[in-house]
């Protein structure tokens, strides 16, 4: 009887994980994501957590410290370069330490109890899968992610996805996306020119060319979408500028792609313009694409 290779015998553990959490104007201990992350079921071993703080105010933190079951690498970047830079820093961090899995986390996500253990158990069963996602629900209880992906936009799914799903048809958002380090060796890193919106769609568009499937692990995770939960007009305007810039960069791969992203922004501009009775949003769109 042939002997199993070391790779075939190997079981993943939390030693193989790096979690990256991006902060903005939030203290780590007060962050809902961190508080619920601490409460997830896991083994006693400390997990590597890279915190990338984009806040304009510097937090007086050591570079490395331990906190509530995590070995924290804390990076303060007051220049706020966006999540692409944060994610790529975590990817390099993982590579330097020969980690096998990277879990991406947004500060506005409330993680279901047992989520980490659920992921760990699943990756040890579904050894052929390199991309894992879970379900995130909004404050209204409706499914936010994954969503049906059409015309560079996400549309709510009627049914809760579970198991294998084609990336061409269904896409998750960045938060609680779990990726094998192999994926980055194959498709490259996140596009740092995209500061926030569309970073997931642009990246997963490249991933989909090499990996057709992801695996969805359903759980009761909650997520707040700042774009829909924000009611401050000045904040909405600033966010819309970032939204359009990200779309323009993401659509740079071709004419059809660019037009689709342009239409996405135009529709958003019309919706916001009607809501706030302002031409500002239309002006942003045409300035971004035509000037």
Give the residue extent of every domain in the chain.
6-224, 230-290
SS3 state at 48: strand
- CATH fold, domain 6-224, is Spore Coat Polysaccharide Biosynthesis Protein SpsA; Chain A (3.90.550)
Cβ pair 106, 33 in contact under 8 A? yes
- Reported as a single tens digit per residue, the pLDDT across 51-76 is 999 999 888 899 999 999 899 999 99
Q: Report residue 252's pLDDT band, with 50, 70 and 90 as the boundaries.
A: confident
Whole-model pTM?
0.89
SS3 state at 259: helix
CA-based Rg of the chain, rounded to a whole angstrom? 19
What is the arithmetic mean of pLDDT over 191-201? 88
Q: Terminal CA-to-CA distance of the chain, rounded, Å?
A: 69
Query: What pLDDT score does 43 carry?
Result: 59
The C-alpha atoms of residue 135 and residue 154 are separated, in whole angstroms, by 14
Neighbours of 62 (CB within 10 A): 8
Q: Which helix (H) or strand (E) holds 276?
A: helix 255-276
Query: What pLDDT score does 280 carry?
Result: 93
The C-alpha atoms of residue 287 and residue 44 are separated, in whole angstroms, by 53
Q: Report residue 140's pLDDT band, with 50, 70 and 90 as the boundaries.
A: confident
Q: Report residue 42's pLDDT band, with 50, 70 and 90 as the boundaries.
A: low
């Amino acid at each position: 009887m042939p002997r199993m290779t070391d790779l075939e015998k190997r079981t993943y553990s939390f030693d193989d994980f790096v979690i990256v959490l991006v902060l903005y104007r939030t203290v780590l201990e007060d962050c809902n994501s961190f508080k619920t992350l601490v409460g997830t079921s896991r083994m006693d071993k400390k997990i590597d957590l890279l915190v990338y703080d984009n806040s304009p105010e510097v937090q007086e933190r050591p570079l490395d410290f331990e906190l509530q079951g995590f070995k924290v690498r804390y990076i303060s970047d007051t220049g706020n370069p966006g999540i692409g830079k944060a994610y790529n820093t975590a990817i390099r961090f993982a590579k330097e330490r020969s980690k096998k899995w990277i879990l991406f986390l947004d500060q506005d996500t409330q993680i279901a109890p047992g989520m980490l253990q659920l992921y760990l158990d699943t990756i040890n069963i579904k050894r052929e899968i390199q991309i894992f996602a879970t379900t995130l629900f909004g404050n209204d209880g409706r499914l936010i992610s994954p969503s049906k992906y059409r015309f560079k936009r996400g549309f709510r799914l009627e049914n809760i996805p579970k198991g294998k799903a084609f990336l061409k048809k269904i896409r998750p958002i960045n938060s609680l996306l779990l990726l094998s380090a192999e994926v980055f060796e194959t498709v490259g890193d996140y596009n740092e020119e995209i500061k926030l919106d569309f970073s997931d769609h642009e990246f997963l568009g490249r991933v989909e060319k090499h990996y057709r499937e992801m695996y969805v692990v359903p759980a009761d995770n909650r997520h707040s979408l700042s774009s829909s939960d924000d009611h401050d007009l000045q904040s909405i305007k600033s966010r819309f500028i970032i939204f359009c810039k990200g779309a323009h960069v993401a659509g740079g791969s071709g004419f059809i792609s660019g037009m689709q992203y342009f239409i996405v922004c135009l529709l958003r501009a019309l919706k916001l313009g009607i809501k706030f009775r302002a031409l500002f949003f239309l002006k942003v769109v045409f300035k971004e694409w035509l000037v």
